[in-house]
Amino acid sequence: MKWKWWAAVAFLACGAVWCGYAMIRPTDEVILTIGERYEQVRQQSRSTLPEATRYNYINLFVLRPAALRFNDPQYGFATPAAKFLSVFANREGVVELVTMSPQVETLPLDEAMSLLLDLQDQLRRGGWRQIRAKDSAAITDTPAMRAQMRSNDAPQSFWIAGDKYQVSLGVRRFVHENRPADERYLITLQLSGPPFIEDGPAD
């Protein structure tokens, strides 16, 4: 029937328009600093962060993947889009903590390593200082570190920025029970202010 043909054409046209929109739509981005008011973060970001209420302020998470731009003028850094990105604000509406996995899916080892090295390089260039290096060495692309990641020892590095911020950066391996040889990795980044984790003894 003619109406069915027109319906099919309309459906395909809508699909093409949506695909085109998805391709040109800018990636969502959460822009913040620790200590900033959460509502200001929502206003300056392009994201699906929800309105804070007295019930949800401890776990304000995006509903659509979004990159993080930590907007401190000295210690700032940026991440790729994250499927999981959660902001904690206190009862006064001030951002105290960000927890995220800066990826939209678990990654192969090479891609996970590349992302970890890039994030650490951004921290170093921004003046962040690694702490607890004796017990938690920086992640490096070496056979020993790759073996540690493959064995799921969950390597983690810790960084502080002056007396203002701290970051923990870690990675874990996920093994599918039906695909034990399929190496996939999940990175976790946590950003907060004081009080800081205690530094270990010097090397």
Q: Is the pLDDT of residue 2 over 80?
A: no
Q: What is the mean pLDDT of the chain?
A: 87
Distance CA 98, CA 137 (A): 23
The proportion of the chain whose per-residue pLDDT surpasses 70, expressed as a percent, equals 86
Task: Judge contact between 60 and 87, C-beta under 8 A.
Answer: yes
The pLDDT score that the predictor gives to residue 21 is 40
198 CB-side CA count, 13 A: 2
Residue 26: both structure tokens together: 């800018």
Average pLDDT over residues 143-171: 96
Residue type, 65: P
Chain-centroid distance of CA 107 in Å reads: 13
The pLDDT score that the predictor gives to residue 15 is 47
Sign of CA dihedral 40, 42, 44, 45: positive
Task: Judge contact between 108 and 55, C-beta under 8 A.
Answer: no
Question: pLDDT digits over 6-58, tens only?
Answer: 434 443 444 443 344 445 567 899 999 999 999 999 999 999 999 999 888 88
